[in-house]
Amino acid sequence: MYRVMLADDEPIVRKALQTLIDWKRLGCEVVFVASNGREVLEHMEEEAPDILVTDIRMPGADGIALVKYVKEHELPVQVIILTAYADFSYAQAAVKYGAADYVTKTGALDGLESAVSRCCSQLEKERRMEGEYGREEAVENFLRAVLDGSLYDEEELEQRYRALPLRLENYLVLLFRFRLSPETDSGTRSRIYKSLSDFLAMAFEEHMEKMLFIQRDMLCVLLKGMEEGYEAAVRAKCGQIIEMMDNFMQLFVCVGVSGMGRGAGDLKRLYEQAASALAYRFPDGTGKLNFYREGTEPEEIRLPGEEKWLEDICGAVEKGDAEKAVSLFHGLLQRQKEYGCTASAVRNSGMSLQERCRKLLLEGEADERSRQGRPGGIAHQIYGCVYLEEYSLLMESLLKNTAQAMKGAAQGKESLINACLRCIDDHYRESLSVSDIAGRIGVNVSYLSRIFREETGNTIIHTINEKKLSRAREYLVQTDMKIYEIAEILGFENVTYFSHFFKKHTGLSPKDYKDKTEHNQK
């Protein structure tokens, strides 16, 4: 029985509404009669009517105010407006605000029963839809719980399954992944979902049991009533779907197909099989369909000689040659495709490159931002790649950025060495230490010492000494300067220390060196 609330400020009309309408025959019962709009509002929540029959003009709150209240609060109430002829335009305005119907008060309320019947039909339709939606929602909740592993108890799973309008007998699980741009708005995404669902329903016909979008770009399909030898038919249907979605909607569809299941208890296992088949190889631009082979686990197929490729790529990166590194990478990728390498094997080679690039950046003292990589982590992004093009672009970016950072680091080292040498040239006559040089050019002492030795093969002190020795030889041979004058101009504290220093590095005292050189020149 539908609950009815009546409202009119005229006692005689209220009496007529109660007695002249056979509410029981209409499947209704009057639960409250109000004399004004305020009483309606006060009792609306308590009485929870399905239908409200109200006069359009009343004190407290009129019919339009009540219609607005119902609409604003999203109440499941059908509102019928009672009006006199003079109120037609007023009543029509109420309908625009959401009133279900309006009826004139003339002719013993002619038309009210028809209006009530229409409201009852609409309510019945909505209840059926709610029931169907509720059952559909229960099925989806069950499937999601099984697939995500939150429903794993066999007894509970079977108990919930038996209560649902879902039949999982001789069935397959198919996973459809399709390319969906991150910029795709919700409206476009909904249209894509509907088009894909409609076409799948048409393609698989009576075998379609259930479709469920489990990710933004992934659809899970359950096909029932399958027979042995189903593969050819499924392959043909999936081929049609891939072609249609690629050609007409510019989606790039790839499909993973499970083995056959016999009951609801197989659902999780079949889902994992379909996911394994879907991820076995990278789709390469033409759509990809993979079937899971019962009794065989996917084997990771790697390219023989891959290590040499990786070494050559990283060698180019270390030299800062981004173009060569990317070219070699594409060569490796092409060989991996030709050899039939699995997606996991390709990703693992990418992870190896990522790790080697990271070490190069650390060892090469590259810019801190280059070492950090992209937000979210390069490794996470490599493992998350679904399409070969996506993986290729990510790795290109990694190799280019690393090579550029290495080139910049090398140029930075070269600039550092040149600055250090200029400082030695300008100040070798002084009592110059490594700390003095580091302070003058603004770098860490230990970093400067390490980079200088790595790049030149000599220490800074050795280079300073060589500079002083070179100048000392020039002064001894090319000038008439006294030894103590040379010691002083080269920044030695006294002639004794200069003589000791010179003999230590040349094997001769300054005087002996000068005499020997002069003798040899005669």
Contact status, residue 365 vs residue 406, Cβ threshold 8 Å: no
Q: Which residues touch 515 (CB under 8 Å, ≥6 apart)?
A: none
Examine the pLDDT at 294 and tell me if it is beyond 80: no
Dist CA 164 CA 374 (whole Å): 46
What CATH number does domain 2-125 carry, 3.40.50.2300, 3.90.1150.10, 3.30.360.10, 3.50.50.60?
A: 3.40.50.2300
Residues above pLDDT 70, as percent of the chain: 91
Mean pLDDT rounded to a whole number for the chain = 86
**Mean pLDDT across the stretch 340-352?**
89
Determine the pLDDT at residue 66.
92
Examine the pLDDT at 149 and tell me if it is beyond 70: yes
* 52 — pLDDT class (breaks 50, 70, 90): very high
Determine the pLDDT at residue 373.
44
Every domain of the chain and the residues it spans:
2-125, 167-291, 306-408, 414-521
Type of residue at 283: P
The domain made up of 167-291 has a fold known as Alpha-Beta Plaits (3.30.70)
Contact status, residue 245 vs residue 124, Cβ threshold 8 Å: no
* 124 — pLDDT class (breaks 50, 70, 90): confident
Transcribe 61-107 into DSSP letters. Answer: S-HHHHHHHHHHTT---EEEEEE-GGGHHHHHHHHHTT-SEEEESHH
Residue with tokens 């197989």: 266
Q: Centre a 10 Å sphere on the Cβ of residue 316 and count the other Cβ atoms it contains.
A: 20
Examine the pLDDT at 451 and tell me if it is beyond 50: yes
Using left for φ > 0, alpha for ψ between -120 and 50, and beta otherwise, residue 457 falls in left
Which residue would you say has higher pLDDT here, 4 or 429? 4
CATH of domain 414-521: 1.10.10.60
Residue with tokens 């028809």: 114
**Mean pLDDT across the stretch 273-291?**
78
Determine the pLDDT at residue 132.
60
Pairing of β 254-257 and β 172-177:
antiparallel
Least confident stretch, 291-305, 468-482, 503-517: 291-305
Angle, helices 343-363 vs 322-339, to 10°: value is 160
CA neighbor of 214 nearest in space, from 242, 253, 174: 174
Dist CA 130 CA 135 (whole Å): 9
**Mean pLDDT across the stretch 373-388?**
71
Determine the pLDDT at residue 363.
74
